[in-house]
């Protein structure tokens, strides 16, 4: 099976997309060296996807990923832009209370950075936690700040809003 790699510009730098048979099999921050540019609208489509305005126009291929990880990733896709949920909340939502660490592992192994917004999932104890893309937690904080600024207007306190799907509106402080 042949893999195609394309680069697209985004407001926070280049993003690389790996495709097989027309579906996305991996996404990463940074442009793959020598990869051709993706069609021009992909950068805007990625921005619109992150801001919750519309779905990205290319399907994600979840084949080969465990049902638990897919459920956790799909649930992360339900978190609105600039809003966060904890690993434990995601575990509860997918019917596995007490599996916060497994959700953390699923987010850490997310091959679809940005399309599956694992940067919106944070630890219960506060802060923003780790992030495996870009410059780690600094990139995660920058993505959340960008989303908050673009999608919701800047919050003067700098607090991150919690996902309303669990009825908890306490702010989490950025690291």
Beta bridge mates, 10: 13
Sequence-ordered list of residues with C-beta below 8 angstroms from that of 144, at least 6 positions apart, any chain: 82, 84, 119, 120, 128, 160, 174
Report the candidate in 160, 133, 166 with the shortest Cα–Cα distance to residue 13. Answer: 133
Answer for the pair 43, 7: CB distance below 8 angstroms, yes or no.
Answer: no
Which one is catalytic: 8, 91, 118, 143? Answer: 118
Distance CA 154, CA 137 (A): 20
Is there a catalytic annotation at residue 149? no
- For strand 4-10 and strand 23-29, is the pairing parallel, antiparallel, or unpaired? unpaired
Report the candidate in 146, 66, 78 with the shortest Cα–Cα distance to residue 109. Answer: 66
Q: Where are the alpha helices (DSSP H) in the chain?
A: 41-50, 67-76, 87-93, 100-108, 137-147
- Catalytic residue positions, numbered: 118
């Amino acid at each position: 099976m042949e893999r195609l790699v394309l680069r697209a510009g985004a407001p926070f730098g280049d993003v690389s997309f790996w495709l097989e048979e027309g579906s996305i099999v991996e996404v990463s921050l940074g442009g793959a060296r020598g990869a051709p540019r993706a069609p021009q609208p992909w950068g805007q489509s990625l921005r619109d996807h992150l801001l919750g305005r519309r779905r990205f126009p290319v399907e994600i291929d979840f084949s080969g990923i465990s049902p638990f990880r897919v459920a956790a990733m799909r649930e992360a896709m339900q978190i609105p832009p600039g809003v966060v949920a904890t690993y434990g909340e995601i575990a509860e939502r997918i019917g596995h209370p007490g599996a916060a660490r497994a959700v953390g592992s699923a987010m850490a192994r997310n091959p679809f950075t940005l399309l599956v917004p694992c940067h919106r999932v944070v630890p219960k104890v506060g802060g923003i936690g780790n992030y495996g893309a870009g410059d780690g937690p600094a990139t995660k904080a920058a993505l959340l700040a960008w989303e908050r600024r673009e999608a919701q207007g800047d919050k003067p306190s700098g607090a991150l809003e919690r996902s309303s799907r669990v009825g908890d509106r306490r702010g989490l402080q950025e690291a």
